[in-house]
Amino acid sequence: MNTEATQVVVSRRKFSRKQVILFIGLAVLATTLGVVWWMNQYVYATMFEPTRLGEGEQQVLNAKMARLLQRSDAGSAVPQSSMLTNTSPLEPVPYTENDANRQIQLSEREMNAVIATDSYMARRVAVDLADDLLSVQLVVPINHEMPIVGGKMLKLNFGLELSYTNGKPVVAMRGISLGGIPLPSAWWGDIKNTNLVEEFGGSGGLWDQFSKGIKDLKIQDGQLSVMLKE
């Protein structure tokens, strides 16, 4: 038997110089396109479109804000720009808590509409409500002295867990991302997924007093609901 005929000859394929240049060019092109896409998505960010409520929605929000701000024009169609302004004179009334409504409830659209009453914040802040999660998007201007991206807008996102467990409110940072890139927890105090009420709720402190005044806190079906104690 001819052993040479049974040998398997493995040839290693070598790329030509043109092929190597082509591969390098494709890699550079892909990287460039990725950077351009990222900058268009997160650096050259456009401002948000302010939330505008319909007439019926606006009247519901006006009633809620009137109750919070002790206004008497709850049912009127108050423009958003003046919704939080109370210029009417106060009238003396006796204090009472009979049949007091201790619940504060706002929908995602209502929260964004309240933000939209501020002309500066309206185009730069947007809020999203998911189950037990409050997410905030910010469009942040970059200093003009920064090279390349100076004067542009950068997107900053953060998520905040809001819930009520074991008789206490839970307020915890889920994360922060800058330009679509999640920032390490060590950069913002190593408090990711830490309940701030428990961590910083020392006796008599701010979080302790906050916790003692809350009976229930939840986000569900696009609604933020806070129930206050007596």
Q: In the predicted model, what is the mean pLDDT of the chain?
A: 77
pLDDT at position 123: 85
- How far is 27 from 33, CA to CA, in rounded Å? 10
Confidence of residue 150 (pLDDT cuts 50, 70, 90): low
Q: 95 Cβ partners below 8 Å, 6+ apart?
A: none
Average pLDDT over residues 90-101: 71
* pLDDT digit string, tens, across residues 166-196: 888 999 999 998 877 888 999 888 889 999 8
211 vs 77, residue with greater confidence: 211
Domain boundaries, the chain: 17-45, 47-84+101-119, 124-230
Residue with more model confidence, 39 or 102: 102
Q: Please give the Cα distance from 59 to 166 (Å, whole number).
A: 36
Could you tell me the pLDDT band of residue 219, with boundaries at 50, 70 and 90? very high
Order of all β-strands in the sheet with 214-220: 103-107, 223-228, 214-220
Quick one: pLDDT at residue 74?
A: 44
Lowest mean per-residue pLDDT among 28-32, 75-79, 151-155: 75-79
Quick one: pLDDT band at residue 11, thresholds 50, 70, 90?
very low
Return the pLDDT at 128: 93
Query: For residue 79, is pLDDT > 90?
Result: no
At residue 134 the predicted structure's pLDDT band, cuts being 50, 70 and 90, is: very high
pLDDT classification of 40: cutoffs 50, 70, 90: low
Claim: this prediction has a pTM higher than 0.85: no
What would the mean pLDDT of 218-229 be, rounded to a whole number? 89
Q: What is the pLDDT of residue 142?
A: 75
pLDDT of residue 30: 77
Mean pLDDT, range 99-120, rounded to an integer? 85
Count Cα atoms within 13 angstroms, Cβ side, for 202.
2
Which of 26-30, 101-105, 132-136 shows the highest mean pLDDT? Answer: 132-136
CA distance 113 to 98: 30
